[in-house]
């Protein structure tokens, strides 16, 4: 498998990407193979997990565990990421195509994110894995999406108040198979201020 870096919001290979995946509207990821062309994170993840199921990323092989994994994956992608992105995405600088900034919308995104993450803290409890007794796509989606918050808005004070999430996340981050892909996750010390990063100063 060959990986090609594409960053549509920074205009890195955006036109080339959109020409290959016209329905994507510039959203990543995309996968192109001899017999397949795919967009949408969940579709690509399920395809790759089933292509070689040696890692059992869809659970123990039972229909029940696979359904649980897909449920978590869908929830993380549609609910958690979308809500978190309302908070952190407008605060990221250096985009060629930045999302619109609205102070009140960011504050609402923050409020919704914190409420949802409090529920995640309760749900995780002492669990090492969301489904079964090994790493699945459910854990990958949850941890990676939380990492986006940790990079931009979930500072040290928030981390201290959410020991379950942080234990779960740090265990994930320390896995050898994760370190091969992401050697180091960024943990911001103080949340990014709710200010327009593109406003002239």
Asked if residue 3 belongs to a domain, the reply is no
Q: In terms of domains, do 147 and 90 share one? A: yes
Q: What is the mean pLDDT of residues 101-114?
A: 98
Each residue's pLDDT tens digit, 44-99: 999 999 988 788 999 999 999 999 999 999 999 999 999 999 999 999 998 878 88
User: Is the separation of the CB atoms in 13 and 20 below 8 Å?
Assistant: no
Q: In terms of domains, do 74 and 147 share one? A: yes
Asked if residue 32 belongs to a domain, the reply is yes
Q: How far is residue 59's CA from residue 125's CA, in Å, rounded to a whole number?
A: 20
Q: Is the pLDDT of residue 143 over 70?
A: yes
Q: In terms of domains, do 123 and 82 share one? A: yes
Q: In terms of domains, do 69 and 124 share one? A: yes
Looking up residue 102, the CATH number of its domain turns out to be 1.20.1050.10
| Residue of 21, 57, 55, 13 whose CA lies nearest to 40 | 21
Residue 72's alpha-carbon distances to 43, 51, 62, 186, in angstroms, are 14, 20, 16, 24
Q: In terms of domains, do 103 and 22 share one? A: no
Q: Is 59 left (phi over 0), alpha (psi -120 to 50) or beta?
A: left
Asked if residue 194 belongs to a domain, the reply is no
Burial of 81 (0-12, 13-18, 19+ CB in 10 A): buried
The packing angle between helices 137-152 and 163-173, to 10°, is: 110
User: Is the separation of the CB atoms in 6 and 19 below 8 Å?
Assistant: no
Per-residue confidence (pLDDT) for residue 11, from 0 to 100: 66
Q: In terms of domains, do 75 and 130 share one? A: yes
Q: In terms of domains, do 77 and 162 share one? A: yes
Q: In terms of domains, do 72 and 113 share one? A: yes
User: Is the separation of the CB atoms in 91 and 97 below 8 Å?
Assistant: no
Asked if residue 189 belongs to a domain, the reply is no
Q: In terms of domains, do 13 and 86 share one? A: no
pLDDT band at residue 6 under the 50/70/90 scheme = low
| Count of structural domains, the chain | 2
Asked if residue 172 belongs to a domain, the reply is yes
pTM for the model: 0.89
What domain range is 124 assigned to? Answer: 63-181
Asked if residue 55 belongs to a domain, the reply is no
Asked if residue 74 belongs to a domain, the reply is yes
Per-residue confidence (pLDDT) for residue 39, from 0 to 100: 87
Q: In terms of domains, do 177 and 121 share one? A: yes
């Amino acid at each position: 498998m060959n990986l090609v870096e594409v960053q549509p919001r920074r205009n890195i290979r955006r036109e080339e990407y959109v020409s290959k995946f016209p329905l994507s509207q510039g959203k990543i990821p995309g996968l192109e193979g001899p017999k397949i062309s795919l967009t949408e994170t969940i579709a690509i993840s399920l395809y790759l997990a089933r292509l070689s199921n040696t890692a059992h990323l869809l659970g123990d092989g039972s229909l029940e565990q696979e359904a649980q994994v897909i449920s978590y994956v869908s929830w993380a992608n549609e609910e958690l990421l979308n809500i978190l992105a309302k908070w952190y995405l407008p605060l990221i600088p250096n985009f060629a195509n930045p999302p619109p900034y609205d102070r009140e919308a960011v504050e609402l995104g923050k409020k919704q994110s914190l409420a949802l993450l409090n529920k995640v803290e309760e749900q995780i409890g002492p669990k090492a894995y969301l489904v079964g007794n090994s790493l699945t796509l459910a854990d990958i989606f949850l941890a990676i999406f939380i990492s986006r918050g940790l990079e931009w808005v979930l500072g040290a004070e928030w981390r201290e108040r959410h020991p379950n999430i942080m234990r779960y996340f740090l265990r994930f981050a320390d896995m050898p198979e994760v370190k091969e892909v992401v050697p180091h996750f960024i943990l911001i010390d103080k949340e990014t201020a709710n200010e327009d990063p593109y406003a002239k100063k």
